[in-house]
Structures are given as structure tokens and as C-alpha cells.
Amino acid sequence: MLTITADRLRAVTSRIFEAAGTPPDLAAQMADVLVESNLVGHDSHGVIRIPAYLEQIRRGTLIPSARPEVISETPGSALVDGKYGFGHIAAAFATEVAVRKAKEAKAVVVAIVRCNHIGRLGEWAERAAARDVIAIVVVGGSGGPGLAAPYGGAARALGTNPISIGIPGGTMPDLLVDFATTAIAEGKVQVARAKGEPLPPGCILDKDGNPSTNPEDLYAGGMLLPFGGHKGYGLAMVVEMLGGALAPGAIYNGDGRRGGAVIIAVDATTFCTLADYESSADFTLRRIKAVPPARGFSEVLLPGEPERRSREQRLRNGIPVPEATWEAITAAARGLGVEIA
């Protein structure tokens, strides 16, 4: 395992994407977003993704110079065209639109079509919460086989269908929920594969529908399972419908792509002053934080706390990167004429 500073990873990422045809400002944004995922401990959505994005650029399914724009809107809604560029750039743009409109109309919904992978959903919910806006972010409705089986099924039918919710605090930190509706995110399977480690039981089936802990089995025709059985499956279907029906991907996307991302944003001051909201939010957060820990635990953590602690620790000590991941990144860089010392 290598340890690399956040600044170095950002610089390397920017150079690689610029060499692939990304304008410098967009390359810097991509570097910031990917390395932030590593900093907060979600390595599955960090620099490990660089080779895959470069392959999409090579195939023409990702246009590195594309800039998103609003193609239709009302006071309470907006439809954003990601133009098949980096999904992170489209999501950052759509989050800004959602926050601005929530401040004006109190509650809004923003959808993104022609959108590639938007990375860690928590990034966008977190940005909204930092501006005193509650945000629910979902991605689903691909319409293809995906990687996940429905509850009781033994064939691929769904994506990982993630959901993130950011809720601002007051003096207490913001609350952040961010998870795939599968028992494990596909990116975390990639991380286990890079480390040569098995998966926890109950996460995947092999191509024949048998339980497996071998990451390779997923990429040999296997499938992810929903978390929590029928409950996770039910939530996955909600995300599938929001991303596939509310975001009109079948109308806009083309090339066999369907679905999209949806951001539901509500201003924290919708029903009261900001001071009253923050007082109420802090009361709830402190009440839960004060619950005594169960045996085997040192404290009760609020959703979002592990990420904040990881960020502090990794800024201080560096980001761990598996050798296999670093080799894949440097090999991809050499293919673009970028030498990484």
C-alpha cells in the first residue's frame, strides 16, 4: 500500500485529464472531487476511477470538454443537460442550480439527463447542506441489466441505485447519509479486487446465482444483492423510478442510455427562521449524540462523522492507495504521454 498526499494526487489527476482533452478548469474540478472522495474514506469513488473515465473518453461515451446547461426550468424545477461530459461537472452545476432555486422557491427538484457517472453522491448533498439547504440526491433508472439483482431474483436488472441526503445542522455538524441500495457499492468491489481481498458474505452472487465472496465473480457475470433484503430492494425501486421516470432519460439520452440523476432541494428556512431551524436541528443531533454507547462501541456516531474524521486524518498522514490502483493510473497516464515520477 502506498501513501500519497492529497496535493500530489490532485496534481496528477489534473495533468492526466488535461492530457485527455479536458479544459484546465474542469480538470481541476475533477481532481478536487475525486481526491475529496479519497480523503473522506470513499476510495471506491476516488482516483481508482481515473482509468475507467479515460476508457470512456477513448470510446467516445464521455466528452471531456462538455459543459452542462439548463435546458428547461420553472420556479420550482430545472432540467440540466450534462451533454455526456463528466457527470461530476454536471452534478456540481445542477447542485448550484438546486441551491439557488431553493433559496428562491423554498422547495425545488432538479434532474440531470445525458449524464455520466456523478461520483460520490454525498459530495453534492454535502455542498447543499453547507448552504443551509436540505438535499436528497439519487441516481437510477438505467433501464439496462446493471449489476444488481432484484430481491428474489437471480439475474441483473438494477444499478447500485445510490441515495444521499444532506441535512444542515447549526453549531453541530451537518448530517450526511450516503449509500448504495446494494449490500456493497460496485466501487468497493473494485477496491477489494485491487487489494486482493475477499468481500463480506451476502454481497454478491456468481453468474449461476450462488453466494460468493470473490470480487472476480461479479465481473464474470455475477450480480450484486440489495442491502436489507426486500427493504433495500424497495428503496432501490424508488430510486429507479425517480431516475428513470422523473428524469426523462428515455426521451433525451439516446444510444441505449436511460435514467439520470435527481436532486430534491428544500431550503432550511421554509417553515421558520434560520436561527429557529438551527436550534431545532442541534437539539436533535445533540440528543442522539448523547446516547450512551453499547458494549463494543466507544461512542454513538452521527452519519457523516466517519467521513469528517477520515478527512482530517488523511490530510495529516496522506491517502493510502493500493499498488495495483497506482500502477493502473500511471499506465493510463503513460498512454497519454504523461510521465508520473
* Residue 228, C-beta contacts closer than 8 angstroms, at least 6 positions apart: none
Strand partners, 134: 266
Summarised one tens digit per residue, pLDDT across range 123-136 is: 999 999 999 999 99
**pLDDT above 90: residue 142:** no
* CATH architecture type of domain 68-182+226-290: 2-Layer Sandwich (3.30)
* pLDDT of res. 260: 86
275 pLDDT tier (thresholds 50, 70, 90): very high
Write out the residue limits of the CATH 1.10.1530.10 domain(s) in the chain: 1-65+302-341
**pLDDT above 80: residue 253:** no
Mean pLDDT across the chain: 94
Distances (CA, A) of 239 to 29, 136, 162, 246, 249: 27, 11, 7, 10, 14
What one-letter code names the amino acid at 338? V
Residue 51 · residue 329 · CB < 8 Å = yes
* pLDDT of res. 247: 76
* pLDDT of res. 23: 98
Q: What percent of the chain has pLDDT over 90?
A: 88
Residue 97 · residue 65 · CB < 8 Å = no
* pLDDT of res. 137: 98
Count of CB atoms within 10 A of residue 228's CB? 13
Residue 110 · residue 96 · CB < 8 Å = no
* Residue 239, C-beta contacts closer than 8 angstroms, at least 6 positions apart: 138, 139, 140, 141, 161, 162, 163, 181
CA–CA distance, 165 with 163 (Å, rounded to integer): 7
Strand partners, 107: 266
* pLDDT of res. 143: 66
What one-letter code names the amino acid at 43? D
Residue 291 · residue 300 · CB < 8 Å = yes
* pLDDT of res. 130: 98
Summarised one tens digit per residue, pLDDT across range 290-330 is: 999 999 999 999 999 999 999 999 999 999 999 999 999 99
Summarised one tens digit per residue, pLDDT across range 180-209 is: 999 998 888 988 998 899 999 999 999 999
Fold of the 1-65+302-341 domain: Hypothetical Oxidoreductase Yiak; Chain: A, domain 1 (1.10.1530)
CA proximity to 223, closest of 208, 210, 204: 204
**pLDDT above 60: residue 244:** yes
**pLDDT above 80: residue 248:** no
145 pLDDT tier (thresholds 50, 70, 90): confident
Summarised one tens digit per residue, pLDDT across range 74-125 is: 999 999 999 999 999 999 999 999 999 999 999 999 999 998 999 999 999 9
Entry pTM? 0.93
Contacts 24+ apart (CB under 8 A), 6-12: 6/35, 6/38, 6/39, 6/314, 6/315, 6/318, 6/319, 9/34, 9/35, 9/38, 9/47, 9/319, 9/321, 10/35, 12/47, 12/329, 12/333, 12/340
CA–CA distance, 241 with 141 (Å, rounded to integer): 6
**pLDDT above 70: residue 258:** no
Summarised one tens digit per residue, pLDDT across range 61-73 is: 999 999 999 999 9
Q: What b/e sequence results for 37-76 when a residue is b if at least 16 CB atoms lie within 10 Å of its CB, and e otherwise?
A: bbbbbbbbbbbbbbbebbebbeeeebbbebbbeeeeeeee
244: which DSSP letter? I
* pLDDT of res. 57: 97
Write out the residue limits of the CATH 3.30.1370.60 domain(s) in the chain: 68-182+226-290
User: Where is pLDDT greater, at 142 or 164?
Assistant: 164
